[in-house]
Amino acid sequence: MTRQLRVVDGTDAQAVLEALRDALAGGPAVFPVAEEPTDAPATVPQRVAVVVQTSGSTGRPKRVALGADALLAGSAAAGSALGGAGRWLLALPAHYVAGINVLTRSIASDTQPVFMPPGRFDPFAFAVAADSMGPRTPDAPSRFTSLVPTQLARLLEQDELLDTLRDFDRILVGGQAMPPALLSLALESGLSVTRTYGSSETAGGCVYDGLPLAGVQLAITDGQIELGGPTIAEGYLGDPERTQASFFVRDGIRWYRTGDTGEVVDGVLRVTGRLDDLIKSGGVAVSLARVERVVRGIDGLADAVVVPAPSERWGTVPVVVSTVDADLAALRQAVADELGVASRPARVVVVAALPLLASGKPDRQALAEIAAAG
């Protein structure tokens, strides 16, 4: 059986909210997009309620097919972790899974989310949207929002916005690794911040501060993080080969191979990198994520991104791209001390601004091209 697929302008959050409400109730499935696709199918399998196109920051985009049960299970688990329902401020694009989650949670709790104006994120527009949520009174609903680290960093740059941020009962931060210095600053500033881990394939963040939400299963197999349970997607729309490679059933539970590497220490998940971010430099395996983690721990380099670049001598080398210059010798020493000499960055490339995807994540493909050209 199939159902109609409705393509919706992802920049119109209210339109996505209304279409999503219909889809969760059994109406046409919804495909929120930033640009009108030329190849969207007219129908999808009956179990599919929402199609989410990934950003394609490290490869060709994928269309993740999510069922209503997966989205609602994620909403219920998040509500339990957050202490109940509340009102949400949507600060992320409505065509990304984190934005869809904000809308789903609003539908599940029968509350109207507050929307920011479309376009590039502006800290002061965020404050205006937060103010429109009304005064903080004892009987007011809890106040939540979901951000990526870049957005949180921009908000924390404005001292006058701290009280606005402190008014949120919880600020979820995900989409990419959160620099330790940014987390420390947020906590020292009195913010209630929770780091989330997940993806479109898991109906968004399903691990909070390293702990799986209720019903979510976690396993490490050959170093790769696997997530299972009711929030897992149906697969990739129109791509059975990739679906088979990434999704499987074990002991009656549907699982997703994340492609991330990690470890569980004292019951807490720690993401260490990506299987596809491993490069061979001089014949030695180097994790770009681990190099980036060390580099971002150095003062002034919290926004730095580490990408691969070709090298005639070593094959491939790590390169640091940042908006500020840095002492390369000191960087190389810090990385060598932590990870070994093979992981040392070859150079630092300074850019006026990091190219970003609509979600606020660094555009690693564009950055790799900059590093290769430099």
Query: Token pair of 214, please?
Result: 């209720």
Helical (H) or strand (E) element with 366? helix 364-373
Q: What percent of the chain has pLDDT over 70?
A: 97
DSSP state of 362: B
Q: How far is CA 340 from the centre of its chain?
A: 29
Q: How far is CA 248 from the centre of its chain?
A: 23
3-state helix, strand, coil in the chain (%, to 5): 30, 35, 35
Segment 246-267, tens digit of pLDDT: 999 999 999 999 999 899 999 9
What pLDDT score does 204 carry?
Answer: 95
What pLDDT score does 303 carry?
Answer: 86
Helix (H, G, I), strand (E, B) or coil at 308: strand
Whole-angstrom distance, CA of residue 343 vs CA of residue 31: 41
What pLDDT score does 246 carry?
Answer: 96
Whole-angstrom distance, CA of residue 17 vs CA of residue 24: 11
Whole-angstrom distance, CA of residue 204 vs CA of residue 273: 18
Segment 2-48, tens digit of pLDDT: 999 999 999 999 999 999 999 999 999 999 998 888 889 999 999 99
Whole-angstrom distance, CA of residue 199 vs CA of residue 97: 7
What pLDDT score does 135 carry?
Answer: 86
Segment 296-354, tens digit of pLDDT: 989 889 889 999 999 888 889 999 999 999 999 999 999 999 998 989 999 999 999 99
What pLDDT score does 285 carry?
Answer: 79
Burial per residue of 93-103, b for 16 or more beta-carbon CB atoms within 10 angstroms, e otherwise? bbbbbbbbbbb
Which of 87-96, 276-285, 298-307, 332-341 shows the lowest mean pLDDT across its residues?
276-285
For 27-49, the DSSP string reads S-EEEEESS--SS--SEEETTEE
Q: Are 354 and 323 a contacting pair, CB within 8 Å? A: yes
| Burial (CB count within 10 angstroms: exposed 0-12, middle 13-18, buried 19+), residue 356 | middle
More confident: 358 or 343: 343
Whole-angstrom distance, CA of residue 35 vs CA of residue 27: 23
Q: What is the pTM of this model?
A: 0.81
Q: What percent of the chain has pLDDT over 90?
A: 72
Please check the confidence at residue 56 and state whether its pLDDT lies above 80: no
CATH (residue range 282-373) = 3.30.300.30
Q: Which residues contact 222 (CB under 8 A, 6 or more apart)?
A: none
Please check the confidence at residue 115 and state whether its pLDDT lies above 80: yes
Whole-angstrom distance, CA of residue 131 vs CA of residue 6: 33
Helix (H, G, I), strand (E, B) or coil at 139: coil
Please say whether the structural domain 2-270 has been given the CATH code 3.40.50.12780: yes
What pLDDT score does 282 carry?
Answer: 77
What pLDDT score does 154 carry?
Answer: 92
Query: Token pair of 139, please?
Result: 């009987």
Residue type, 333: Q
Please check the confidence at residue 212 and state whether its pLDDT lies above 60: yes
Please check the confidence at residue 292 and state whether its pLDDT lies above 80: yes
Whole-angstrom distance, CA of residue 352 vs CA of residue 335: 24
| Residue-range domain boundaries for the chain | 2-270, 282-373
